[in-house]
Structure 1
Amino acid sequence: MADSEISTSLSRPSRRDILSAALLTVGGSSFNSSAAAAPLDDSETDATVLAWKTWRAAHRRTLALCRKQQRLESKLARTIGFPQAVLNAAELPSPMRVSSLRQFDELAADVPSLRTRRAEVAEALRAHQQRWDDADRAIGYTATRNAEAAASVDEDRLIATLFATDATSLCGLSAKLDALIAVGAEGAEGRQFPWPELRRIRRDVARIVQLPRYDTADFTA
């Protein structure tokens, strides 16, 4: 049992951080090229639309794995509980839940008489962690979490490719707007400027294009 805090979730950069990194990598090349200066209304030959379709499939896979991982983690938390030990001692005002030996050591520094209980707490934490690990393997939580992380890396690579590709049609421009909104407008902040305005611009572009195969129902966000 490690002394560090137990962590059951991967630490990942926010989608907005990823988008910012992609845009910094791309720079302004898409708006300065001769191809972008003469857009064509031909989504079949626009590499941006093709890149968007590839990214969208990866985006949906990442979301599906994320939701599955969250469901499995909730199940583990509900049935097994996050690994911890309950410490009862006369020196404490009430029973305390300890999730790591580091937390116990910090507590024992203030209440030295608890130091004799360290081995007991360590064993309780180890046993609870083992129950968590056994249940984890049975339902595939860690495997799903790892698959989500790999899918996220793939999606990040694809969205960087998408924004690095010059749009040669209004469909391509709309595709970039769709990806921008999907990864940028998350949570409560997604209801604030500029995301609603960008959604209106995206609808305007789709309306101007008026291609029967480019239905707004296909938008990612």
Structure 2
Amino acid sequence: MFVVSGGWTFGGNAQARATDGVPAPALDPAVAVWRDWNAAYEQAMWRCDRLQELEAAVAERVDALWTVVSIPGGEETIVCSKAALDRIVGERTDMAAIRAKAEAELDARQAHFEVVATEIGYFEGLRAEQAGFARVAALLEALSGTPAVSLSGVVGKLDAVLRNGADWEDRSAFPWPQIRSAREDLMRIGRQLTPHAFFPGG
């Protein structure tokens, strides 16, 4: 005898039956989508952690991507882009040499960053992370459009919403405690009805 993710038990004659002997529906399609979402989410989070490691490795070898511009009669200003340099210098002809030097420094720092980032694999990691979270978003949308046919399926939907949102926000703020409470209530009720059932996030 074995139990599938929807919480329904199958006997030796392969006839689906619930634990109370009432015929059970087929495997919940929402649980099946949740499984795909869960695998994609775990992989995306791993890729996110990996990207942070790559960022730290790049930071150890690359100076900050900015330069300091000394404005005649003014204070020194940190410039992070040529657009920012344009706003500071404007049409001032007396700052032509300062602009040229600042642009050269920005170009050199950017070029060095790109060389190091490529060697370390940062850009590849960034693309992988973006693709991973794009898949997570697509599966979350698919899950929201998949009707649940069991408490396990409903729990799976709440689990995906909870983890997808609360992992990036204040877990103690609305609506995460309320969603977490609803998920736990459904899991408790579900286990009373089908003790051997699988519940996502349980």
TM-score band by shorter chain is 0.7 to 0.9
Pick the structure with more strand per residue.
Answer: 2
In structure 2, stretches of 5+ residues that fail to align are 1-21
Deviates more, 1:83-92 or 1:190-199: 83-92
CA distance in 1, matches of 2:190, 2:40: 26
1:159 aligns with 2:143: no
Q: Contact 2:30–2:143 at 8 Å: present in 1 too?
A: yes
Select which of 42, 52, 63 maps to 1:81. Answer: 63
CA distance in 2, matches of 1:103, 1:115: 15
Select which of 45, 63, 72 maps to 2:45. Answer: 63
Equivalence for 1:49: 31
**Length-normalised TM-score, structure 2:** 0.77
Q: Contact 1:206–1:214 at 8 Å: present in 2 too?
A: no
Aligned residue pair count: 178
Equivalence for 1:197: 178
Select which of 119, 135, 142 maps to 1:138. Answer: 119
Equivalence for 2:106: 125
Moved segments of 4+, more than 4 Å: 40-44
Equivalence for 1:6: none
CA distance in 2, matches of 1:44, 1:190: 35
1:66-123 Cα distance to aligned partner (Å, 9 max, x none): 22222322332343133222234553323x3221122112111286522232222221
In structure 1, stretches of 5+ residues that fail to align are 1-39
Equivalence for 2:158: 177
Q: 1:41 to 1:108 in 2, by over 3 A?
A: farther
Q: 1:92 to 1:128 in 2, by over 3 A?
A: same
Give, as a single letter, the amino acid of the residue that structure 1 aligns with 2:161.
Answer: L
Q: 1:42 to 1:78 in 2, by over 3 A?
A: farther
- Structure exhibiting the larger radius of gyration computed from Cα positions: 2
Q: 1:195 to 1:153 in 2, by over 3 A?
A: same
Pick the structure with more helix per residue.
Answer: 1
Q: Contact 1:87–1:98 at 8 Å: present in 2 too?
A: yes
Q: 1:119 to 1:60 in 2, by over 3 A?
A: same
CA distance in 1, matches of 2:24, 2:161: 21
CA distance in 1, matches of 2:23, 2:112: 59
**Length-normalised TM-score, structure 1:** 0.71
Secondary structure, counterpart of 1:191 in structure 2: coil
Give, as a single letter, the amino acid of the residue that structure 1 aligns with 2:29.
Answer: A
Q: 1:45 to 1:107 in 2, by over 3 A?
A: same
Equivalence for 1:148: 129
Shift of 1:172: 0.7
CA distance in 1, matches of 2:120, 2:127: 14
